[in-house]
Amino acid sequence: MLATDIPILLIPLWIVLGLAVLLGILALLGRIQGGRYLKPLFGLMARVPFLKRQMEKASKAAIERTNPELASAMRKLEPHSKQLHDPQQAQKAMSRLTREERAALLEMQEQQGGIEPEAMNRQMRRRLEKQQKRR
């Protein structure tokens, strides 16, 4: 064995060390100010189609573990996502959901800043008010 063969044998070690450093940097960026510096990085990563699919897959899996009703509602609404800007189509899509799924979806929308009032018709607003009163 020659002395020149040693660096070649250490290539896998350098790759593993590089990945460990990259993972450490990502973990550090995630801890600083609640991930403030990590969010733009994920925004850039989302432009790569392969990484975007993987991040969506991981997000769906995390939602299924934490809130199965919300995951079910999102699966049912996914084919209709383009039509949900029309209040009548949104109401039709919401009518396909069970009570638990609807409550989970409305709770998620409320946490993210609420539903836009102009996107709801009177019946949807009344239903939302009733659900909020029940809580």
Per cent of the chain over pLDDT 70 is 89
pLDDT, residue 13, reads 94
Please tell me the distance from the alpha carbon of residue 18 to that of residue 41, in angstroms, as a whole number. Answer: 18
Instruction: Give pLDDT, residue 115.
Output: 54
- Two tokens at 42? 């994920």
pLDDT of the residue at 65 = 94
Residue with tokens 């769906």: 60
Q: What pLDDT was estimated at residue 119?
A: 62
What residues have CB less than 8 Å from 108, skipping those under 6 apart?
A: 67, 70
Cβ-count burial 58-87 (b if 16+ within 10 Å, e if not): eeeeebeeebebbbbbbebbeeeeeeeeee
Q: Are 67 and 60 in contact (CB under 8 A)?
A: no
DSSP state of 116: -
Domain ranges for the chain, please list them.
Answer: 11-66, 69-134
The predicted structure's pLDDT at residue 8:
84
Residues of the chain with confidence (pLDDT) below 50: none
Tens digits of residue pLDDT in 40-70: 888 898 899 999 999 999 999 999 999 899 8
pLDDT at res. 130: 86
Residue owning tokens 């995630």: 30
* pLDDT given at position 78: 81
